[in-house]
């Protein structure tokens, strides 16, 4: 009976939540503390909490706070049960002075406020010699969205065991790490330091006065046979951010120096129709990021097809400056002979050194496009008339006039008539022998047969290359086949072909000379060529039958 009563009592005690918290306390593990030194704030509640947490938002106004960790415990001593919940967080002050950590409230129970003293680092000169942090901003004067290089150096004079350093902070600005940290050694005042260097990219997003708060270092070093906690804070840097000038037009590009250059492949100012030209632009700028590099506006030129190629953007830090570079290539395909002038290219940018708008300029360029000397000239076809010219017999001797009499013909009359028919027959045979075509020379026949054989070989190779899906080799063979088979350039031959084959070859050219890669069915294109070949043979056969 007693055991049953004790079991029920314990079960009831566990299930019954506490009606209130007995006590709520707040404490710190250090007081006073150094500027930039982390200390631990502990809040503890005796009693059942039921998932509640203290509100710590008030201390964020004067302190830098870390995440909160929660722990709880329950004890039963001599049948008496007690429970407690504690919350801990790392807190740090960036400035010296007297501060008050306010009271905390949970379920109506409040803690006592804490008076905290934060001491400036100059009061601890011995530690300053062991560990210290320096900060530097270049350039110091900035415009909106202008990129600056922020350099942090951590000097450590003892063996480092553990280290943690925060990132610098700035309101209305972005701070991004650049590359990996660097390690080196320097000697200052006769003491050797291990130096850890970190670089950041700073970009203010609004104009006005701002402060870049320096990073905070906390760690442990070895001193003899014991571990010693150390900390350091980088100096804050005040900056004045200037707005975008009202008279500036175009994409905002604030920089100390902008350079625009170009390269041509081939470099000749005289090119052949259909031969691709590669034009490469290189844009270099100081004090901006690679994301800020603008796209170039390349004007179109009548007589040229322009295909954009890949664009590459990079950035790096050198001599305390951020340097960005963009390389963009374009393929130019001349379509017809003539002289063309590619217009001037201008890119506006704002010079932050002299505070003036300037232009990166490429002058106009004249290019002469000539016809392909290896292509035969297209013959001029004379229009054919529908009228059929009848052969005209050469003049012959006048036939004798025969006078018929009503009386019966004599033998002399019959003789004269027969001689007239024989003379007419001889004249007709003479005319026919003069009009018969002369036989072709043997050398011409052999040349024509050779051309036909080469064209057929090229057509067979087109089929093999189509199955291999080799676009460039297929295009080269296609041009050679058309020149052999039809005695025309590819452009002239295409103007006489159906729309579907012109569209397929346009896709092939775009895939070879532009970044607009398209799906080209080479097998389908090869089948088109076979159909055209068969149709040409059929038309030739019908034409010959009509003549004969």
Nearest to 91 by CA among 114, 109, 107, 112: 114
Strands lying side by side in the sheet with 270-272? 270-272, 365-370, 338-342
* pTM given for the model: 0.53
Whether 252 contacts 192, CB under 8 Å: no
Residue with tokens 């041509």: 264
Instruction: Please say if the pLDDT value at position 439 is more than 70.
Output: no
Confidence grade of residue 324 (pLDDT, cut at 50, 70, 90) = very high
Instruction: Please name every residue paired with 223 in a beta bridge, in sequence order, or none if there are none.
Output: 226
Fold adopted by 254-370? Immunoglobulin-like (2.60.40)
Identify which of 4-8, 16-20, 259-263 has the greatest average pLDDT. Answer: 259-263
Contacts of 288 (CB under 8 A, 6+ apart): 145, 146, 147, 253, 254, 255, 322, 324
Q: Provide the mean pLDDT of the chain.
A: 78
Classify residue 470 by its DSSP letter. Answer: -
pLDDT tens-digit series, residues 381-394:
444 444 444 444 44
pLDDT of 12 strictly over 50: no
Number of other residues whose CB lies within 10 A of the CB of residue 508: 20
Asked if pLDDT for residue 107 goes beyond 90, the answer is no
Q: Highest mean pLDDT: which of 5-9, 125-129, 335-339, 492-496?
A: 335-339
Element (H, E) at 359: strand 356-362
Q: What is the DSSP string of 479-522?
A: HHHHHHHHSS-HHHHHTTS-HHHHHHHHHHHHHHHSS------H
List the single range of 104-113, 118-127, 404-413 with lowest mean pLDDT. Answer: 404-413
Q: Would you place residue 426 in the very low, low, confident or very high pLDDT band (cuts 50, 70, 90)?
A: confident
Q: Give me the pLDDT at residue 409, please.
A: 57
Domain boundaries, the chain: 16-122, 124-242, 254-370, 450-547
Return the residue matching tokens 């701070």: 175
The CATH class of the 124-242 domain is: mainly beta
Q: Which CATH architecture has domain 16-122?
A: Sandwich (2.60)
Q: Answer for the pair 278, 179: CB distance below 8 angstroms, yes or no.
A: no
Widest distance between CA atoms in the chain: 177
Tell me, yes or no, if the two domains 124-242 and 254-370 fold the same way. Answer: yes
């Amino acid at each position: 009976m007693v055991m049953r009563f004790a079991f029920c009592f314990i079960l009831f005690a566990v299930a019954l939540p506490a009606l209130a918290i007995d006590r709520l306390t707040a404490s710190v593990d250090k007081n006073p503390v150094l500027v930039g030194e982390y200390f631990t704030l502990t809040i503890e509640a005796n009693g059942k909490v039921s998932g509640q947490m203290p509100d710590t938002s008030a201390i964020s106004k004067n302190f830098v706070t870390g995440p909160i960790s929660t722990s709880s415990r329950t004890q039963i001593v001599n049948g008496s049960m007690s429970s407690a919940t504690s919350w801990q967080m790392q807190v740090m002050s960036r400035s010296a002075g007297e501060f008050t950590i306010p009271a905390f409230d949970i379920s109506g129970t409040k803690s006592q406020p804490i008076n905290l003293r934060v001491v400036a680092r100059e009061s601890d000169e011995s530690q300053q010699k062991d560990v210290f942090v320096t900060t530097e901003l270049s350039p110091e004067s900035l415009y909106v969205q202008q990129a600056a290089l922020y350099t942090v150096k951590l000097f450590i004079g003892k063996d480092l065991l553990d280290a943690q350093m925060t990132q610098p902070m700035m309101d209305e600005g972005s701070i991004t790490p650049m590359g990996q940290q660097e390690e080196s050694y320097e000697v200052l005042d006769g003491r050797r330091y291990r130096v850890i260097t970190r670089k950041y990219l700073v970009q203010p997003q609004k104009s006005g006065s701002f402060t870049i708060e320096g990073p905070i270092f906390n760690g442990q070093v070895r001193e003899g046979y014991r571990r010693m906690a150390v900390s350091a804070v980088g100096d804050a840097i005040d900056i004045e951010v200037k707005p975008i000038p009202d008279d500036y037009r175009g994409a905002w590009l604030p920089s100390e120096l902008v350079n625009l250059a170009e390269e041509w492949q081939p470099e000749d100012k005289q090119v052949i129709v259909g031969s691709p030209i590669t034009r490469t632009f290189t844009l270099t700028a100081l004090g901006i990021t690679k994301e800020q590099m603008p796209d170039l506006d390349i004007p179109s030129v009548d007589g040229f097809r322009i295909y954009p190629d890949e664009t590459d953007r990079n950035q790096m830090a050198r001599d305390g400056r951020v340097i960005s570079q963009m390389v963009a290539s374009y393929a130019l395909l001349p379509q017809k002979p003539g002289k063309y002038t590619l217009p001037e290219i201008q890119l506006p940018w704002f010079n932050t050194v002299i505070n003036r708008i300037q232009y990166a300029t490429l002058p106009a360029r004249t290019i002469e496009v000539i016809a392909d000397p290896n292509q035969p000239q297209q013959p001029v076809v004379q229009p054919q008339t529908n009228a059929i010219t009848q052969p005209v017999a050469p003049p012959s001797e006048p036939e004798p006039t025969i006078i018929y009499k009503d009386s019966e013909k004599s033998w002399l009359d019959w003789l004269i008539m027969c001689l007239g028919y024989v003379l007419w027959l001889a004249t007709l045979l003479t005319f026919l022998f003069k009009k018969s075509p002369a036989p072709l020379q043997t050398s011409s026949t052999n040349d024509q047969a050779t051309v036909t054989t080469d064209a057929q070989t090229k057509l067979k190779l087109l089929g093999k290359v189509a199955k291999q899906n080799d676009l460039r080799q297929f295009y080269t063979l296609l041009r050679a086949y058309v020149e052999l088979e039809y005695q025309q350039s590819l452009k002239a031959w295409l103007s006489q072909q159906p729309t579907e084959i012109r569209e397929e070859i346009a896709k092939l050219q775009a895939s070879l000379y532009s970044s607009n890669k398209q799906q080209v069915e080479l097998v389908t294109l090869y089948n088109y060529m076979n159909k055209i070949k068969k149709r040409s043979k059929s038309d030739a056969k019908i034409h010959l039958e009509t003549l004969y």
